[in-house]
């Protein structure tokens, strides 16, 4: 089954409690953490993880689009994130950071911006629970998916299968029903979607439809 991780980036933040309840059928809650340096936007501090977990049963994955993940990752782990995803482009000692994240008992993932090659993962892939392939340039929701990223997913799936690894593949940005099946066919295990889910009056219907996408078609 495809897992769904709604992003609350573009939800109605003035009614966060209700918005979080609308996505309870999902598998994860995707928290887009932006520091205004790594990306030109500023969003959620660790206290949002704690607040969200007080009203939602969903595990929280914190997508850290930040220039100092060594400092921030432990804060999001302590606040209750079950998974922490850091950008390969934003860290110097990636192997050590992934170790630290797992020592907090969190799943660990690495995100790649669209232009970053898969080779950046070569010596860390066996340590990862998940790779997040950015299908837009990070910073904002509601963008168009970059179609070349579908082949990037296919190439990553080939590498994971060849190395017989258990690492999952997640995509983030611009996912809609024109590209979702193509992404699943390419090997995606987890879909992040924000606009597609929250721009619909019935987010749970959208989550159900995304979950129904068949793998291995
Ligand atoms: C970009 C963000 C977005 C968001 C989902 O930095 O990570 O990709 O999660 O975007 P949409 O609204 O396109 O699903
Ligand atoms: Zn994200």
Residues 108-158: tens digit of each pLDDT:
999 999 999 999 999 999 999 999 999 999 999 999 999 999 999 999 999
Pocket test for ligand 1, best of 173, 174, 210 (most atoms within 8 A of CB): 173
Predicted confidence band of residue 216 (pLDDT cuts 50, 70, 90):
low
Q: Is the pLDDT of residue 210 over 90?
A: yes
pTM above 0.85?
A: yes
Q: Which ligand is nearest to the CA of 111?
A: 2
Q: Is the pLDDT of residue 162 over 60?
A: yes
Mean pLDDT of 183-194: 98
So what's the pLDDT on residue 214? 80
Q: Is the pLDDT of residue 190 over 70?
A: yes
Measured in angstroms, how far is the CA atom of residue 30 from the centroid of ligand 2?
A: 6
Mean pLDDT of 162-171: 98
Residue 70 annotated in active site = no
pLDDT tens track for 5-33: 999 999 999 999 999 999 999 999 999 99
Q: Say if ligand 1 is within 6 A of residue 6 CB.
A: no
Residue 172 annotated in active site = yes
CA distances (Å), origin 161, targets 39, 51, 132, 149, 187: 32, 38, 17, 18, 10
Q: Which of 27, 129, 172, 189 is catalytic?
A: 172
So what's the pLDDT on residue 217? 56
Q: Say if ligand 1 is within 6 A of residue 172 CB.
A: yes
Percent of residues, the chain, with pLDDT higher than 70: 99
C-alpha to C-alpha distance for 203 and 217, rounded to whole angstroms: 25
């Amino acid at each position: 089954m495809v897992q769904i991780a709604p992003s609350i980036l573009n939800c109605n933040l003035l009614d966060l409690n209700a918005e979080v309840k609308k996505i309870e059928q999902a598998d994860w809650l995707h928290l887009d953490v932006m520091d205004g340096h790594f990306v030109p936007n500023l969003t959620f501090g660790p206290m949002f993880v704690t607040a969200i977990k007080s009203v939602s049963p969903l595990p929280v994955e914190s997508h850290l689009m930040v220039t100092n993940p060594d400092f921030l990752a432990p804060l999001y782990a302590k606040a209750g994130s079950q998974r922490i995803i850091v950008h390969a482009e934003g860290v110097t000692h990636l192997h050590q950071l992934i170790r630290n994240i797992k020592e907090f008992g969190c799943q660990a993932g690495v995100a790649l911006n669209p232009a970053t090659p898969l080779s950046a993962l070569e010596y860390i892939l066996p340590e990862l629970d998940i790779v997040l392939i950015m299908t837009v340039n990070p910073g904002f929701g509601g963008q168009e998916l970059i179609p070349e990223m579908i082949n990037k997913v296919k190439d990553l799936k080939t590498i994971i299968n060849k190395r017989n690894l258990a690492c999952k593949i997640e995509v983030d940005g611009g996912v809609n029903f024109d590209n979702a099946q193509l992404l699943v066919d390419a090997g995606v295990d987890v879909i992040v979607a924000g606009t597609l889910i929250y721009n619909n009056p019935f987010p749970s219907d959208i989550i159900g439809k995304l979950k129904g996408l068949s793998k291995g078609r």
